[in-house]
Each structure stands twice: as structure tokens, then as C-alpha cells.
Amino acid sequence: MKNIWNKIEKSKTTYIALISIVLVFIMPILFNLFHLGRTNRIIWLFFIINVFFAGFIGWFSRKYSLSFYNLVIFPVIFVISVFVKYGRYGYFLAGIYLVLSILIYFLFEKEK
């Protein structure tokens, strides 16, 4: 069991998944706790923070030579939250996050 935990702890994919879960599920709750409106949540969280994080995932995956499926983790978690909680516009945002991650991934070619 300890060996499995050490493997998970060293995995960069695990960190991507954990940060994605925090951004998708915890941050909207924090926005509500601080009485920030729906418009602020959409602008700041969905368009600014999540777009930045999607670009970061593309760069991070390229830098550490992670497999291509790491780019899909964040959009899939976002689609799950949209299915449970938000409007249809969220599905389009998940597509935007995925496309941005892929573009950044291929933009930063690993130098040999």
C-alpha cells in the first residue's frame, strides 16, 4: 500500500487532477461564500482562471513529456461539473479549454 501511495504522490497527472477538482468544484463554492455573483464567477473563474489553467496544462504536459491524455483531464472534470450544476454554455467552455491546451502543447515544442 505504501508503494502505491509513493507512486501516486510522484505522479504529475495526480496533481493535474487534484488542481482540476479544486478549480471545478471548490472554487465556485468559495465564490458563493464570498457573495460574488454569477457574472463574476463566469468571468473570473470560467474565462480567466480556467483558461489560464488550460494553457498551463498544455505547457506543463509538454515540459515534463507527459502523455497526451493529460490534456483531457481538466475538460472532462469540467464537463462532469457542468452536467451536474451549470448551464449548457459549459460544454462549449470545456471544448475551448481542450483546444487551448492542445494548441499550447504543440506551441512549446521540446527542444532537443
In the chain, where the domains are located: 10-111
Within the chain, where are the H helices?
2-10, 12-21, 27-33, 38-40, 50-63, 70-84, 89-107
For the segment 4-14, the average pLDDT, to the nearest whole number, is 74
Place of cell 482562471: 49
> Shortest CA distance to 66 belongs to which of 22, 101, 42?
101
pLDDT value of position 65: 87
pTM of the model: 0.85
**Whether the predicted pLDDT of 68 surpasses 80:** yes
Neighbours of 8 (CB within 10 A): 10
Q: How far is CA 67 from CA 47, 88, 91, 104, 105, in A?
A: 26, 29, 24, 14, 11
Summarised one tens digit per residue, pLDDT across range 19-61 is 999 999 999 888 889 888 888 888 888 899 999 999 999 999 9
Helix or strand or coil: residue 66?
Answer: coil
pLDDT value of position 10: 74
pLDDT band at residue 7 under the 50/70/90 scheme: low
Instruction: Give the separation between CA 40 and CA 66, rounded to whole angstroms.
Output: 33
pLDDT value of position 2: 65
pLDDT value of position 50: 94
pLDDT value of position 85: 78
Classify the C-alpha dihedral 93-95-98-99 as positive or negative. Answer: negative
